[in-house]
Structure 1
Amino acid sequence: MKRVRPGWLLALVVAAALCLIRPAAAVAHETRPAVLELRETAPERYDVLWRTPLFEGQRLPFALRFPEDVRQVTPPLLIQWPDWHLESWRVAVPGGLVGKTLYVAGHDATTAGVVVRLFNRDGTEWSAVVTPNHDRLVLGGQTAAGADLADAVQLGVRHILYGPDHLLFVLGLLCLAQTRLMLVKTVTAFTLAHSLTLAAATLGLVVVPVEPVNAVVGLSILFLGPEIVRMRRGQTSLAIRRPYLAAFTFGLLHGLGFAGGLTGLGLSRDALVTMLVGFNLGVEIGQLAFVGVLLAVSASVARLAVGWPHWLGYAPAYLVGSAGAYFTIARTAVLLGV
Structure 2
Amino acid sequence: MSEIGAQVDLSHPTGRVWRALTDPTLLARWYTEVEPVAGRPGRLLLYTAGLPGFDAAVDAEVTERREPGALVLRCQEAGRRTLLSCAITPTAEGCRLVVRERLEHGFWPVEQRARREQSYRQALTGRLPAILDWLAFQQVDLQRDQGPPTAEMPLVEALRDVPAPAGRWRRTALLAALGGGVLVTGLTAWVLLPSSPDRAAAPDPATMPPVATTAASSPPPRATASARPTRGAPRGSARPSPSASATPSRTPTASPSPEALLAARYETLATRIFGYTGEVVVDNPADTAARDWTVVLTLPSGSTVADVSGADWQQDGQSVTFSGPAVPAGGSQVIRFDVRDAGPFVKAPEACAVVGTPCAGL
Q: TM-score, length-normalised on structure 2? A: 0.22
From the two aligned structures, give the one with the greater strand fraction.
2
Whose helix fraction is larger, Structure 1's or Structure 2's? 1
- Looking at CA atoms only, which structure, 1 or 2, has the larger radius of gyration? 2
